[in-house]
Amino acid sequence: MLARGTVLIVMGTFLVFAVVDVDPREAHGIAGALGALLRQPYGGWLLGAVAAGFVSYGLYQLLCARYSRFSMY
């Protein structure tokens, strides 16, 4: 959840800057957010941590889907 939150916060920041500056070219998606993380000091480590977070969240969702129990009625 922390990895998703980090990427969404960076994307939201880009969106706010685009609105304030009235420049739609400043709005970036996931690729722009990950690129911004990569350009930071220790960017490779940050990007690796975010990637590990995405992978662990994906595995968690697969386990939830596999072992969830539900009834039709």
Q: Residue 47: which residues within 8 A CB-CB, separation 6 or more? A: 34, 37, 38
> Is there a contact between 26 and 14 (Cβ–Cβ < 8 Å)?
yes
Look at the chain and report how many structural domains it folds into: 1
In a domain? residue 73: no
In a domain, 57, yes or no: yes
In the DSSP assignment, the letter for residue 39 is: T
Residue with tokens 């940050």: 46
Contact predicate 28/14, CB 8 Å:
yes
The reply to whether 72 falls in a domain is no
Residue 31: its pLDDT value, please?
A: 81
Domain that holds residue 14: 2-65
Residue 70 inside a domain? The answer is: no
Residues 24-52: pLDDT tens digits? 776 777 788 788 888 888 888 988 888 89
- pLDDT above 80 for 14: no
